[in-house]
Amino acid sequence: MRIPHKSTTSITAVLTVLCGTSLGVFTGTHSVTALPADSITRVKNLPPTQPPSAGSTKAGSVKWMKNPQSLPAAGSAATGAFAVWAGTALRKRDWTGVSRTTVNLSGATGSPLMADWDGNGIATPGRYVSGNWFYTNSSTGDPQWEQLATFGGDEGDIAVTGNKDGDGKADIGVFRAGVWEWQLTKGGTLTEQYGEAGDTPVVGDWNGIGVDQPGVVRGNTWVVPNPDNSVRTFAFGAPGDFPVAGDWDANGTTDPGAVRNSGTWFLGQSVKKPKKTVRMSVTMPEGSTPLVGSRVSVPGSCPTVTRAAGVQAASLVKKIKKPMTPNSNRKVAGYQEIYATLVDGVRYTMSNDLSDRLASRAYMSYYDPLSVARTTEESIRRSANSALSAAILVSSSNYKKENGISRTDVISYARWHIRSIACQHYSLTQGGWGDTWQSALWAVTAAQAGWLLWPELSRNEKSYVAAMIASEADSVAARGPRYFRDRAGNEISAGDSKSDEVSWDLMAPALAKAMMPTHPHARTWLEASIAQSIAAFARPSDLQSTQMINGVSIGVRLPGTNANEDGTVTNHGIVNPDYTQNVQHLWWAATMLRSAKQSVPESYFFNADIVYRALAVVQFASPPYAAPGGTVYQPGGQIYYPMGVGWGNRRPATFVGVDGFANVYAAPDTNAASFLAAHAYDARALQLRFTDGRMYSDGKVEDAYKLGKEEYALQQVALAWWAGAWIDRPGFRVDKKAYPNIRLDSGYPGL
């Protein structure tokens, strides 16, 4: 490790890179080539969002509706697909800025349902088949059906749900030719008589008394009870419409609704004024049945956040400290290329997302990221990488407007990703992503994007970011480090080091500590990050070391190792440079603490230089390694893979990020500045082959990462740019204090 210094290394050798079918030659003093301006794809305007100044500045001021607002929904038990649409206005003739949230369950038999099964104000899917009731409390993602109860089952029974006993949880019932049979969540049953054979049952709190009552629809004639137990009869909709009932304006009373042609919803203001309607058009999946969802947050907020989770999230905002956001250093060799690559790469991701990948969701304030792709990794990580790249661009440079894309456009795009990703985190939304493999990395990426743009975020957005990163930090602290080999050298996870998982895990508690230094868990987060950083790249010789790191006797306390003796990392069964470069996570975490003007534990630098040398200095003889041998870092920015290629053979951007941090923190003899410039030039050369800002050709030869290779490459370029802002930055302090509660073999349960 070294204290950051200003790089004076110059590129004197000519770096030759293959650029399409022509050969481009770059030196340290070349001019930066720009992409042709007429190739720019104009990006769409995103939906309007709540401005940063909206609402009170006091903690806990995020507004909630007194009563849950009912929302149009649809579902099919046969396909298992359910969707809920949330508008941004309560009282308009037409709803605009609609968001959609989906839940995907396994296909099954029965009638689809939607109800608030646990009383948290959010309606979630259910189904009824022959007296058997199934449900999930998840409001997004891919949950499994759970058995709820057995009730009803007579031929012709129609399943109904409602809050009959006043506890807020859905009671289940059946309508049978005018007879209503209920099973109550508080216990017992209830029988009611209302309507007749052939009626369609509808349930609601028609009079605002706090419990639901039965109602029926005949054709397009509604019959519902008055407060004095008389009957109110009125026409609503047209014959053939599908009747639905919900509290569309969240005033505590149920209103009529009608769905026409499986897509146009007419929502009445009340049973007293049914002619005053709001119209909403949605694209319902073929074969789905209209249902009624609900939300408790005001329009413009995350539609699936529960009241309890939202209140807890709002309480965190006052604990957040804004980061330092210095501009990067353009005088360092390669940084002009890095900036140009970043600008054009952000333009590419914006154009690609808003015109192609996410074009069908560009009108949504919250675009339901978990349903974007088949895997959660692609759905969340890809967009998080784009958000962080955009946030670094506008927070660490003087970017104003390039190629018709303004600073405001870039910020709006980043916020769109940040709030959508955070909204569906499990800390806010039941069934959301998180507390799983790699989720700490995704949370850090999205949360850092939000933190860098903190003054630009709305109150809600800030609370969602804080809740997401605090929850992931707790999860990391609770599970503790993992290891590739035990103390005897036996592989615990054959062929796969845990260095990548441990090193990305450490960043969540590090960022949470940086953002919320006064949080009650801040000390635990710091200790957890110290433990993870010691474990991340521990080597076999460390097991006999007498070294003390933050009060930890390394040789005595380490239960295993994750790196090889020469600093290389084994993954996918090979010595793998693509995983060795994860040493950047140590330096990334250190820089986040520096952004908060906090000291950096010495553990964050444990073995970092040694691991980086495995890229820049260590020689691989051929044989036994693949020809031609030598160092991983080759002249001209090329990468040598000693035991074969894992993710493609032309990925310079993958190493720009680690080089950017190494140029700040690694020892001078690693020549990080030279390698940074070489990889920056090569990445820019790859990008210049195209007119839209992308970097890689189609296929797996250059980069085989199919879950967002462009966004990952751009994130690495962005991190290199951000790292450059910390070269020679004053105030860097290394924390060498002893922390007596460090746990290298277990986590901190109970968080």
The pLDDT of residue 115 is above 50: yes
pLDDT of residue 8: 34
The angle subtended at Cα 204 by Cα 198 and Cα 207, nearest 5°, is: 120
Output the CA torsion sign for 220, 226, 231, 234: negative
The pLDDT of residue 54 is above 80: no
pLDDT, tens only, 9-45: 332 332 333 233 222 333 344 446 766 554 444 566 7
> Is it true that domain 66-299 has CATH number 1.10.20?
no
pLDDT of residue 298: 87
The pLDDT of residue 188 is above 70: yes
Q: Which of 557, 543, 510 is nearest to 529 (CA)?
A: 510
Contact 92, 110 (CB under 8 A): no
Q: Which of 243, 303, 340 is nearest to 88 (CA)?
A: 303
Q: Where in the chain is the domain with CATH 2.115.10?
A: 66-299
pLDDT of residue 94: 55
pLDDT, tens only, 704-737: 898 999 999 999 999 999 999 999 999 999 999 9
Residue 129 neighbours by CB under 8 Å, 6+ apart: 77, 108, 109, 110, 111
pLDDT, mean of residues 542-563:
98
pLDDT of residue 557: 97
Mean pLDDT of the chain: 91
pLDDT of residue 559: 98
The pLDDT of residue 539 is above 90: yes
Q: How far apart are CA 217 and CA 200, in angstroms?
A: 5
pLDDT of residue 28: 40
pLDDT, mean of residues 204-221:
96
pLDDT, tens only, 419-476: 999 999 999 999 999 999 999 999 999 999 999 999 999 999 999 999 999 999 999 9
The pLDDT of residue 751 is above 90: no
User: For the chain, percent helix, then strand, then coil, each to nearest 5?
Assistant: 35, 20, 45
Q: How far apart are CA 198 and CA 204, in angstroms?
A: 19
State pTM to two decimals: 0.93
Give one DSSP letter per residue of 625-690, joined into a string. SSTT-B-SB-GGG-B--TT--SS-S--HHHHHHHHHHHHHHS-GGG-HHHHHHHHHHHHHHHHTTS
Bridging pattern class, strands 600-601 and 734-735 = parallel
5 pLDDT band (50/70/90 cuts)?
very low
Q: How far apart are CA 534 and CA 606, in angstroms?
A: 6
Output the CA torsion sign for 650, 651, 652, 655: negative
pLDDT of residue 404: 86
712 phi, psi to nearest 5 deg: -70, -45
The pLDDT of residue 58 is above 60: no
- The two three-digit tokens of residue 433, written as one number: 């992503």
Burial 279-308 (b: 16+ CB within 10 A, else e): ebebebeeebbbbbbbbbbbbbbbbbbbbe
51 pLDDT band (50/70/90 cuts)?
low
pLDDT of residue 57: 35
pLDDT, tens only, 626-673: 999 999 999 889 999 999 887 888 999 999 999 999 999 999 999 999
The pLDDT of residue 240 is above 80: yes
